[in-house]
Structure 1
């Protein structure tokens, strides 16, 4: 029977009303199903709550009642949503205007349908598990929730930003924790037009709920002489006079530092000098059963892996202090012994290496969606339905908060390096950009601008920065902004540390364990507890007292994982930040960056409500977009494979619902050969092979960066300014300046997307699958993407490549951006030319792209003349968004929108009535309309001649 909403509606004073079966309880937000349990840890209650027409919250617990903790991520709905309840003998359903969620009265399993009756996604039978856990006196559950795979063609994206260069997470495994270069967000979106937000802050796993196993736990191991039980490790020192060490290794697990001995790596020989050495692990493995074995390699220095005499991992490199993980799979035959070898060249005295594995799983189970959480109150997730993938992400932001409009200057170019050591370096660098006429909006002052022994003082070292206020004023006089690095870290000798500590707001164990950092002799420090609301207020007040009077424009929140010590195991990372104000870190492990962002965003808006907040953070979490926060991909390496990995990392981060992402153009951690190449150039003036590659790597990375949501360069030496990378007559210099200018030419287009991101919950950096979901070929493409709805961007990520394959999706014509020529009717892969100075860049039919005047900074001038390119072949729309660029008046309706539409059948462009207004708005302007068609190709140019249209805010139609 169907029970209308009003039948079960609660009176304001009522708590619970019974509805139909005695197993079912009803309240104003949904229903609770009470289940008969066979075992103590079986589910007792399943609750469905309506959080919107397309959003259903699902909670499940073995307890007699649900926990009352408020979500750190999800905001309370602003209004109630009407729904109906339907019952059968075996099920009960919630029905909204868009979805139906059905619960089995026998098992509590939940299925989700659209209103046509199509099953969208379903919990798997018996796919819900609870295991009691108690940490530091707090009780909870380790949980798992599995969903059935309805289609192998489904694509699933999101989970944050990871570095293994995986794109479609269907059938994949990923551990969700925060670490330098790894940002975990427990949200996914599916090509079947739904999303799942897993509301957990603990260590989580996607896919396989178990941890990776040691090789000896899965395979029989044999050393190089055939003896069972271990592989052979051969350690050859750099100094021939030192002794080569040979020993048997029953596991390859050298992945973290020893507690209490932060100079040595667990399991590695301590009496061996790893700097410059060569290490080989070799022998054979024998699988018990046939199937696909999924490996994870943890690497620093240079490493290669061979299985069955095949190179399964070509050379990879990471700096010694910041290892990376890489995943690969190998099919093995049960009972067959195959050779294995790891070649390793450590590049530091402390070195890390690891190889672990998952044994084969049932293929159907592997393809299922599975969430595992280490410590939660119970199972708590949100099902979000949408008309398309954009609509799903809109639902996610409805739950977790809208993204504010970023300040316009943030859309421009940012220059940074590790690090500007003096006031003179900062000002002279910015002045050099202005002298050369290279556009720039933001210069960044990194860590150690304070005195060496005063981390956390928020005070400049006056010996190197004698006049901080004067420096900031000069930057502003040069029409630029300044961002400053602020860490949640404090040396114990600072007054700020003492202020936190007397209130119990500092983590104790780092001090008790005498963890010292890498600065000078090494200083003792800890991080503040961002989970405490009063501690967050103090953190902001200290910033407000010291930095705000200087006129600082934006905040760089580094090490916000939080990263108290590199290269420790996860348990120790948890120990270092526990207890939090909310409970054990095991339960709240992943949400620190979100709490920290809250401190700055709400703090600044409280004292300077007219100035847009801008935060850049190295870590992030679900909901961070509401705090005007962008994330960058951390201290990545300067390798071609790392550049490529940023494409899929950025795309998945965007699909995690957080729109503002960036990276260190050129990579942060630099291979020694590039450093030596630059040093040799300074000595001889000659470009050797390594410097030549360095310049090309940066050129290709800048090309990619110009079409990222935020455009910034940063990294260790060599310096990252283009005039320090290559001289003015070099093709690298020419290309970087070209794309920087192009970025500013595109400012009307880019800033309109910033408006769309707020008002329409738009996604700027878009996997091909978002706009071409029905084209199955797009579901695995993670190395090209759409920048807005117009541009197909295909970065070049191989040294010496002068072409690359590009897939052109079905449904559109595709034009070459540089020539305007039609290159494809869609539905095909073609080899695209990619000369040194240009990246393959295409525009889809139906695109309407506004280009503004040449500028040196983002708000230098109003776009009184816009070159409006219209790419024919299908209908198209675009809305030009404008406001006051730096304040929050847009929240009060102070902005304008000019709609454009193109009718391909009549070749008519309509410029609609302008909607809205704001102080300083252009009342009249000129659109130079440029038609691009297969018959009339027109490449991009600032000086293009088109059809001139005067516009004063009223609807105008133009036949092209």
Structure 2
């Protein structure tokens, strides 16, 4: 009798463990080995996985994801320790003993598995906030090709057998999303510095800061289907104004109002098609007036007439704006009054415009906090005056932003959403989004166009075209633009371009007189014809 009682208790205990999960409105929730796991379907093809230490409380509002879960018909069933939950397009299985999650298409074909025992939460003090460094690894097929992860200058199309230190930079834009040739995609929804590693035994993300592991799996059958899922999740891409699909001329920099207009006149005289002209930096004057969003340079005496003259020549004008401000600007004083300026070294480092920079005359230029809605309001308050002049588009430079003489403590800077470390990689998304939203709020009849140097997941919804940064001209650099642009677009952000001819000409001693450079420029021009923006630009060209 005693034996049967013990056996009954064992069966009851085992069954209780096996049933330790609950249904939710969007899927299921369970706790395995002190980690709470939630599987939430957003539609029949997209599922969100979150993991957090059991008993922890946190609130996370995604900066990238704009979709909300839809009502999906789900079927849940358990076979021993394996729980499966299925929609019409996707099945997710969770092992109730190990917590390992795996994904299958509607035909039952395995798409992706988490690696057993690879979920990690390492305690981390983030500028006084107790949180975690988080990680998750996956098992990919040996010969499985994956694409995306943003833009890198490596000349590598398939993103396998590599390690990426994912922190936004001048020529590297990181989006923690990859698309598999097997017809699925994975978006790691974290904004802190992240290490992506792919090696023989696993593929993993590890992020400096996270209260939870948070990623989205999407089954799209093919690349188009996966990108459709990503845009469903993070926002659709609006059309640009028609003129932006033509040819742009730019350089570093036109030094006067007269020079800018004369370039347009020369194109008309030569009968070479031109749709846009770009005015680069320093139209505001000295570096102490950096990004004043005002024509304080004596060489630009009548900006209203300048814009009108360009329009009369049937061209459009784009102007350079930055994400930092000099200490003598109105924006600096107003942002400083609400503690919306960060303290780390950025460009320019000297108050003098002479080259090389005179560091003994520091510029005191500071990056603003675009995570703060009041700071975004201030940014637009001054930019709106440019909009009123009839400026057609914005060149939002240094949107990664420039972070020079890096020190780890720089990431302890406080933003509206926590430490800079916590939200570092989403900086371009927030600053570009601020301009887009404000312009649409006051001028819904005009399509927005923002040329910018960095990007993060979801930025396609903000009318932005990202360029590949200040690349140094060479045949290798041109070669690298191809995989850079393709992988970038495979993260769901369709608009991308590069400086035709390259920005720096350090490799060509004779600059424009070098025959080899001229050949390179022609080939780059041909390449630029087939990218979403055709724009000639450079420091030496």
> Match for 1:449 among 263, 267, 283?
283
- 1:171·1:369 contact (CA, 8 Å) conserved in 2? no
Task: Return the alpha-carbon distance in structure 1 between the equivalents of residues 51 and 529 of structure 2.
Answer: 45
Quote the offset at 1:67 in angstroms.
2.3
C-alpha distance in 2 between matches for 1:507 and 1:21: 51
Structure 2: gaps (5+ residues): 1-15, 355-360
Which structure carries more strand by proportion? Answer: 1
1:439: which partner in 2?
A: 273
The 5 A counterparts of 1:359-398 are: 364-365=200-201, 368-398=202-232
Kindly report which structure 2 residues correspond to 1:556-705, keeping only aligned pairs within 5 A, or say none: 556-565=395-404, 568-569=405-406, 571=408, 574-575=411-412, 578-671=413-506, 673-674=508-509, 676-678=510-512, 691-705=514-528
Aligned to 1:537: 377
What does residue range 434-833 of structure 1 map to in structure 2 within 5 Å? 434-452=268-286, 453-461=288-296, 463-510=298-345, 516=350, 519-520=353-354, 521-544=361-384, 546-565=385-404, 568-569=405-406, 571=408, 574-575=411-412, 578-671=413-506, 673-674=508-509, 676-678=510-512, 691-718=514-541
23, 27, 48: which is aligned to 1:26?
A: 23
Query: In structure 1, what is the Cα distance between the partners aligned to 2:505 and 2:296?
Result: 27
Instruction: Quote how far apart the aligned CAs of 1:65 are.
Output: 4.2
- The one-character-per-residue Cα deviations of 1:78-130 (angstroms, maximum 9, x if unpaired) are 63222221222212222111000010100111010112211111101112111
Match of 1:157, SS? strand
2:182–2:221 Cα contact (<8 Å) kept: no
Kept after mapping to 1: 8 A contact 2:155/2:483: yes
- Secondary structure of 2:148's partner? strand
Contact 1:178/1:561 (8 A) holds in 2: yes
Shift of 1:712: 0.6
Instruction: Report SS of the residue matched to 1:542.
Output: helix
Q: Deviations over 1:32-75 (max 9, x none)?
A: 111134xxxxxx11110001110010111123145221011111
Task: Find the counterpart in structure 2 of residue 141 from structure 1.
Answer: 132
- Structure possessing the higher radius of gyration over alpha carbons: 1
- Report the CA distance between 1:461 and its aligned residue: 3.0
For residues 116 and 20 of structure 1, what CA distance do their matches in structure 2 show? 30
What displacement does 1:364 show?
3.0
Q: 1:385, 1:48 → 2: CA distance?
A: 15
For residue 169 of structure 2, the aligned residue among 179, 201, 209 is 179
Query: Normalization by structure 1: what TM-score?
Result: 0.53
Question: Does the 8 Å contact 2:18/2:81 carry over to 1?
Answer: no
Q: For residue 677 of structure 1, report the CA deviation from its aligned partner.
A: 4.8
**Offset, 1:172:** 2.1
CA-to-aligned-CA distance 1:356-399 (integer Å, 9 cap, x gap): xxxxxxx631xx32111111112110001012111001100111
Give the TM-score taking structure 2 as reference length: 0.92
The structural deviation recorded for 1:518 is 5.9
For the 8 Å contact 2:505–2:511, the answer to whether it is kept is: no
- Partners of 1:79 and 1:149 lie apart in 2 by 29
Partner of 2:156: 166
Q: Structure 2 matches for 1:96-495, cutoff 5 A?
A: 96-150=87-141, 152-207=142-197, 364-365=200-201, 368-452=202-286, 453-461=288-296, 463-495=298-330
1:434-460 CA-to-partner distances (Å, cap 9, x unmatched) read: 111111111000011111141132111
Alignment coverage as a number of residue pairs = 518
> Does the aligned pair in 1 maintain the 2:152–2:171 contact within 8 Å?
yes
Counterpart CA distance in 1 for 2:69 and 2:383 is 32
* TM-fit CA distance, 1:134: 1.0
The structural deviation recorded for 1:533 is: 1.1
Deviation sequence 1:761-796 (CA, Å, 0-9, x none):
xxxxxxxxxxxxxxxxxxxxxxxxxxxxxxxxxxxx
- Could you list the runs of 4 or more consecutive aligned residues of structure 1 that deviate by over 3 angstroms after TM superposition? 19-22, 508-511, 514-518
Structure 1: runs of 5 or more not aligned: 1-18, 38-43, 209-362, 679-686, 719-960
Task: Note if 1:80 corresponds to 2:77.
Answer: no
Cα offsets for 1:237-266 (capped at 9, x unmatched) = xxxxxxxxxxxxxxxxxxxxxxxxxxxxxx
